[in-house]
Amino acid sequence: MAEEKEKINYGEIGLRAGLEVHQQLATHKLFCSCPSLVRQDEPHFKVVRELRPLAGELGAIDPAAIFERKKKKHYVYEGYNDSTCLVELDEEPPHEINPEALKTALIVAKLLHCEFPDVLQVMRKTVIDGSNTSGFQRTLLIGLNGYLETSFGKVGIQTVVLEEDAARRIAEDSMSVTFRLDRLGIPLIEIATAPDCKSPEQVKEVAEKLGALLRATGKAARGIGTIRQDLNISIKGHPRIELKGVQELPHMTKVVELEVKRQLDAIKHKEKLEPHVRAILPDLSSKYLRPMPGSARLYPETDIPLIFLDKKELEGLELPKMPEEIKKELSELGLSKDLVEQMASSPKLPMFFEFVKTYKNLNPNLIATTILVIPKEVKRKLQLPEFELDENILDRLFIGLSGGDKLVPAIVKEAIPEIAEAIAKEKPKSLEELYKIMARYKVLSDAELKKEIAKLRKEYSGPEEKFLGFAIGKLRGKADPQKIMALLKQN
């Protein structure tokens, strides 16, 4: 099937595709202060529970329903005494909503041009597959009716929702399902787009842009499983299909293409067409998973107070720069292409901008190199597991590079690699110890430099035109080569 190379005209077949992106946040949990820590070590305890169909759902009292309940599986929840608490165990009411997660969700909704209600209300979404100890997932509508700009046109954003992640499914047998509580309660931002994408390329662009936007908040969790994408796809004559779990962005277009082909085939072979959910397989094709779920029951979470949004605070919300903007800015500062890429995705980016602002006399490239490149080189050379120059040390190095002051010895940029290496080896415990290291590389005063050059002249016996190179090499890290050149010219 994949061999067929006929081009599909997506406009003609009426492709409508939308995305639902779930991004975990790297903050503590949404309704308790437990860390958002997914663990591989042995859990400390296990709790066994049952979940019941809800009151009033059964209608009349039916012996068959009672029988159904009896053969129901029970749920085993594994937890850790130091990173899960009574909230995940459904043994304590939720705490107040994590303000950092809420702020991040508001920022995301604002970046997506959403409308904001005046009052937000946390809801309980009924879930009885065991993945939530309480029998429901707490979820909060943050913003709605926004849009995302793409190169193919605007894509509507239906909702931005903040919710708790479910417990992690570990194992299942005929009697029970085992879940781990570490993931339960991690804040998730869910962005649902309208089915406005009209080509596989547009779907991919939306996924990329949403991913970049979430990462730009600086609060998105990173690593496997921290972002999950679902697709919904339909073409003219075929009902909506939901595709669960697109893992990697580069596969996005392929997944859409294959699903469109599948839908075209289904129409051609006059199969019974029903909306349903499909799971994506490793070869990027998909298989039937389950019928489309009915709309889940949502009702208010009465244990959590209403959240009144302050419109002024919303307006004042500082929005992060988008990656393209940041890269443009870094290029304009004169950073090399390689450094732009590295710095744009580095957690040290805010620090870099601070230093550029403070040390206007220094070349931003020098600042970026000192922050990012030098420590990496030292780490590699000395084969250290970790090495970084912290903010304090960097600040003193930049003072030194700017000519020093009463305390900080003046240095030249050529000395930085050696100073960094000395820092890695000697691990200065105070600023005084740092200054002592820097002092060994102190820049020579003009008088000292003249003296040194005179000394070198006596040692030197080679051709005159090569003396400059010799002197620069000998005085490396102790004097600015430009200065040496100038002095030699004077003579």
Residue 59 interacting with other proteins (CB under 8 A): yes
Q: Are 3 and 220 in contact (CB under 8 A)?
A: no
In 3D space, the residue among 317, 319, 421, 402 whose CA is nearest the CA of residue 356 turns out to be: 402
Site for other proteins (CB under 8 A): which residue of 23, 27, 84, 134?
A: 134
- Using rule CB under 8 A, residue 64 touches other proteins: no
Written as one letter, the residue type at 213 is: L
- Cα(32)–Cα(24) distance, integer angstroms: 15
Tokens 């030194």 belong to residue: 400
Figure out which of the listed residues 89, 267, 366, 439 binds other proteins, where binding follows CB under 8 A: 89
By CB under 8 A, residue 295 contacts other proteins: yes
Q: Which of 20, 78, 88, 90 binds other proteins (CB under 8 A)?
A: 90
Q: Which stretch binds other proteins (CB under 8 A): 51-59, 183-191, 203-211, 242-250?
A: 51-59
Applying CB under 8 A, among 98, 159, 217, 263 the residue interacting with other proteins is 159
Phi and psi at residue 227, to the nearest 5°: -130, 135
Is there binding between residue 473 and other proteins (CB under 8 A)?
Answer: no
The torsion defined by the Cα of 457, 459, 462 and 466, in degrees rounded to 10, comes to -50
Q: How far is CA 70 from CA 63, 65, 66, 178, 238, in A?
A: 11, 9, 6, 19, 40
Q: C-beta of 354: minimal distance to other proteins in Å?
A: 39
- Answer for which of 58, 356, 456, 472 binds other proteins (CB under 8 A) is 58
Q: Smallest distance, Å, CB 297 to other proteins? A: 6
CB of 90 to other proteins, least distance (A): 5
Is 153 near other proteins (CB under 8 A)?
no
d(CA 206, CA 162): 20
Minimum CB separation of residue 161 from other proteins in Å reads: 8
Give Cα separations from 407 to 360, 410, 477 (angstroms).
21, 9, 19
Interaction of residue 305 with other proteins, rule CB under 8 A:
yes
Q: Smallest distance from the beta carbon of 136 to other proteins, in angstroms?
A: 6
Q: Specify the stretch interacting with other proteins by CB under 8 A; choose among 198-206, 301-309, 409-417, 441-449.
A: 301-309
Contact assessment for residue 143 and residue 112, using Cβ atoms and an 8 Å cutoff: yes
Q: How far is the CB of 222 from other proteins (least distance, A)?
A: 29
Q: Using the rule CB under 8 A, give the single segment among 132-140, 227-235, 245-253, 476-484 that binds other proteins.
A: 132-140
Where does 151-186 show beta strands of DSSP type E?
153-164, 168-172, 176-180
How are the residues of the chain apportioned to helix, strand and coil, as percentages rounded to the nearest 5? Answer: 35, 20, 40
**Cβ contact 91:127 at 8 Å:** no
Stretch that binds other proteins, among 44-52, 259-267, 377-385, 411-419 (CB under 8 A): 44-52
Among the residue ranges 98-106, 123-131, 413-421, 467-475, the one whose residues contact other proteins (CB under 8 A): 123-131
The answer to whether 74 contacts other proteins (rule: CB under 8 A) is yes
Residue 302 near other proteins by CB under 8 A: yes
Q: Toward other proteins, which CB reaches closer, 111 or 304?
A: 304
All residues at 6 or more sequence positions from 220 whose CB lies less than 8 Å from its CB, including other chains? 23, 24, 25, 26, 214, 226, 227
3-state DSSP assignment of residue 22: strand
Binding flag, residue 292, other proteins (CB under 8 A): no
DSSP state at residue 334:
T
74 beta partners: 176
Instruction: Answer yes or no: are the C-beta atoms of 358 and 398 closer than 8 Å.
Output: yes
Enumerate residues 205-224 that contact other proteins by CB under 8 A.
Answer: none
User: Where in 99-118 is the site for other proteins (CB under 8 A)?
Assistant: 115, 117-118
Q: Is 44 in the site for other proteins (CB under 8 A)?
A: no
Residues in the interface with other proteins (CB under 8 A) total 57
Helices 391-401/349-358 angle, 10° precision: 30
Using CB under 8 A as the binding rule, the residues of this chain from 403 to 442 that contact other proteins are none
Least distance from C-beta 301 to other proteins, angstroms? 8
| 96 sits near other proteins (criterion: CB under 8 A) | no
| Residue among 308 and 463 whose Cβ is closer to other proteins | 308
> What crossing angle do the helices spanning 374-382 and 416-426 adopt, rounded to 10°?
50
> Is residue 121 part of the contact set for other proteins (CB under 8 A)?
yes
Distance CA 246, CA 284 (A): 9
What letter represents residue 151's amino acid?
S
94 neighbors 302 (Cβ within 8 angstroms): no
Helix (H, G, I), strand (E, B) or coil at 79: strand
175 sits near other proteins (criterion: CB under 8 A): no
DSSP string, 407-450: SSPP--GGGHHHHHHHHHHH---SHHHHHHHHHTTPPPPHHHHH
| 31 touching other proteins, by CB under 8 A | no
Is residue 176 a contact point for other proteins (CB under 8 A)?
Answer: no
> Which residue number, 128 or 468, has a Cβ lying nearer to other proteins?
128
* 52 belongs to the binding site for other proteins (CB under 8 A): yes
Question: Can you give the binding site for other proteins, defined by CB under 8 A?
Answer: 47-56, 58-62, 65-66, 69-70, 74, 86, 89-93, 115, 117-121, 123-128, 133-136, 139, 141, 145, 159, 161, 295-300, 302, 305-306, 308
